[in-house]
Amino acid sequence: MNKRILVTGAAGFIGSNVCLELQKQYEVIALDNFSSGIKENLLEFEGRIIQADIRNFDWQNEKVEAIIHEGAITDTTIKNRELMLDVNFHAFKKIVEYCENQGINLIYASSASVYGKGKVPMQEEQEKDILSYYAESKWEMDKFAATKFSAFEEKGLKLVGLRYFNVYGPKEQHKGKMASMIFQLYNQMKQGKQPRIFKYGEQTRDQVYVKDVVKATLLALEAKKNGVYNVGSGQATSFNKIVEELNKNLKTQLKPWYMDNPYKHYQNATLAELSKAQKFLGYKAEYSIEKGIADYITFLENERKN
């Protein structure tokens, strides 16, 4: 693959991490409208930054070999369905059609939210359980992409969707209430507060470290087969376990404060089945929850010092 890649949502959590890794071997163009992403996430980025909205950007101006599409509304609580579908689905549809016509490889961010309260481990083909407008927008993206996989393949092009599970790690701090539970619990515990989790902390999540997500995204550029793939750690981690690991790394002994769960659509468990990603992307997570939290805390503590 030639050396020029455009990343949308480049100032966001995952997008900025992808840009910084990609620039080691490619020329990278970063595109973001900065509605939620922040310029600070791109301080170490050396390429060109374009401030624009994916809904009305003129793609013709940029000659690239691949687009990595991370740009989206990622606030799962947004109640405006029209806006959610406009930004996440309709803009994506245009990007797919543009890439198909121009011969550009396309990797895009899907989401494990499409599985809802489905059975675990979650397999790509299992029945979907759509519980939010965000999940609906991502599922619409996947369904549309599925109509184009073979057309891209016939042209020798990649079209790959990545179903990210619960991603955590550096450069998510700007996300506020949408940041990972790991970051939120870290913040509470740094202030000496009891970490607040739902009763009784036994719910599990597939927590995947952002460095693994970046690795999967780069591997997708060389995918053996077009399709949608799970990107997780393949490990189910309880919230109690997260608190335990944070205590260990922060050298604290804070007990959880268990709260009633007010959400009726709450997922009790998520877990990625990764055999398809391993087979066609060569993806295998490197970071266990222990290793990921330790690496993340080192980053956060260094940031505090500076």
User: Is the link from the previous residue into 168 a cis peptide, with omega within 30 of 0?
Assistant: no
Is residue 274 within 8 Å of residue 282, measured between CB atoms?
no
Q: How far apart are CA 41 and CA 171, in angstroms?
A: 6
Examine the residue annotation and report whether 229 is marked as an active-site residue of this protein.
Answer: no
Contacts (Cβ under 8 Å, ≥6 apart) of 176:
none
Q: How far apart are CA 167 and CA 233, in angstroms?
A: 9
Catalytic residue among 134, 209, 287, 296: 134
Rounded to the nearest 10 degrees, the angle between the axes of helix 289-305 and helix 181-190 is 50
H-only helix segments in the chain: 13-22, 81-85, 91-102, 133-146, 149-154, 181-190, 210-220, 239-250, 275-281, 289-305
Which amino acid does the sequence have at 213?
V
Q: Choose among 188, 128, 21: nearest CA to 30.
A: 21
DSSP state of 88: I
Q: Which residues pair with 238 in a beta bridge?
A: 204
Catalytic residue among 175, 211, 215, 241: 175
Is residue 114 within 8 Å of residue 139, measured between CB atoms?
yes
Q: How far apart are CA 178 and CA 185, in angstroms?
A: 13
Examine the residue annotation and report whether 287 is marked as an active-site residue of this protein.
Answer: no
Q: CB 271: neighbour CB atoms within 10 A? A: 22
For the annotated catalytic residues, the residue numbers are 134, 175
